[in-house]
Homo-oligomer: A and B are copies of this chain.
Amino acid sequence: MQQDIDVLVHEVGPRDGLQSIKTVFPTGAKLEWIKAEAAAGVPQIQVGSFVRPDLLPQMADSAEVVKEAIRIPGLTVSALVPNLKGAENAIAAGAHQIGVVMSVSEAHNKSNVNRTVDESLEGFRQIVECRNAADPQRKTVISGGLATSFGCTISGPVPVADVMRRAEQLLKLGADRLSVADTVGFANPKQVRDLFDELFRTVGADVAVGAHFHDTRGLGLANAYAAVEAGVRELDSCLGGLGGCPYAPGASGNIVTEDLVFMLEAMGLRTGVDLDALLEVRELMERHLEGEPTQGTFVTAGPPLGFVPASAA
């Protein structure tokens, strides 16, 4: 993390946003978006996912996007990888960080990747081994992702003890950092606070931990606040809330980057992001959308009178 920011905003729109909509962004449009958002001060962007192109055509150019994005000065380029093959390709493309996600819920993991959680952990071990062989200096950071940490659409409540056990296993297997996700938008702020308090007690306060929230039930920013109160210093979000529409049943986007940045800056936490520039990037991104809705309130409400962002203070 840069020394002059308090909370790292990790833009996941070019991955989580784009993979949830019908419009396929051309590679040039993705890079235009990524470059502009990096220029607005967003320090880390998840630019793609190394999945099979026939499964997710929106992500087919991820290697190309990574190769270009890593040339942007100061930007940490992350990518999602579902398996060893994806990790090899992401590392070969030069991704600074790879996110390897498994579900804490057995039912969700089975449904999603047709593996037990233990099998996913073995896959994670192989990915760490691959990174260590290809990259002995371990410059490619591996983030261990814990999906469905706050509940599962198939099995319901997920025990906190399961999240703790899987977090410890990921770290033992070589995860450089953790990402804890409310994949399906079930979390409430008390649950978030309690889970992260417990996590820092379990793995230690010095482990880098990110949080990933969806705004399915309107609690995304409340959950982000609760996570920050618990000591989380990295949050995933999506410009314009791309990929989610609260008025369409079942759809559920990530928390909105510009609303998150506003909240953090208003709270006195520096993100390094310029809100005016960010709104311009939002417009630029929207130009490529073919009728897909965007979300967010800051874009219409604007800043409160007399607002001074922490990053400008």
Min distance, Cβ A36 to any Cβ of chain B, angstroms: 23
A258: nearest residue on chain B (CB-CB)? Answer: B218
What separation, in Å, do the CA atoms of A187 and B300 have in the docked complex?
16
Q: Does A173 sit within 8 A of B, measured CB to CB?
A: no
Q: How many chain copies?
A: 2
Chain A, residues 178-210, CB within 8 Å of chain B (1/0): the string is: 000000111011110000000000000000000
B263 touching A300, Cβ below 8 Å: no
A284 lies within 8 A of chain B by Cβ: no
* B153–A297 touching, CB < 8 Å: no
Assess A252 versus B305: contact at CB under 8 Å? Given A225-B225, A267-B189. no
Assess whether A221 is interfacial by the CB under 8 Å rule: yes
Query: 1/0 per residue A236-252: CB within 8 Å of B?
Result: 00000000001111001
- CA–CA, A252 to B297, complex, Å? 10
Are A298 and B218 within 8 A (Cβ)? yes
Q: Which residue of chain B has the shortest Cβ distance to A154 in the bound complex?
A: B305
A157 at interface by CB-CB < 8 Å: yes
Q: Tell yes or no: A259 within 8 A of B by CB.
A: yes
B contact residues around A248 at 8 Å (CB) = 300
- Indicate the member of A157, A259, A262, A301 with the most B CB atoms within 10 Å: A301
Q: Does A219 contact B (CB under 8 A)?
A: yes
Q: What chain B residues lie within 8 Å of A170 (beta carbons)?
A: none
Whether B267 lies near A188 (C-beta < 8 A) is: yes
Using Cβ atoms and an 8 Å threshold, which residues of chain B touch A21? none
Cross-chain contact A266 with B296 (CB below 8 angstroms) = no
Contact between chains at A151 and B305 (CB < 8 Å):
yes
Given the complex of chains A and B, what is the CA–CA distance between A266 and B306 in angstroms? 35
Q: Is the CB of A297 within 8 A of B217?
A: yes
A237 CB to nearest B CB, Å: 12
Let me know if B217 and A267 touch, CB within 8 A. no
Q: Which of A156, A186, A218 has the most CB of B within 10 A?
A: A218
* A residues in contact (CB < 8 Å) with B: 151-157, 184-186, 188-191, 215-219, 221-222, 224-226, 246-249, 252, 256, 259, 262-263, 266-268, 296-298, 300-301, 304-306
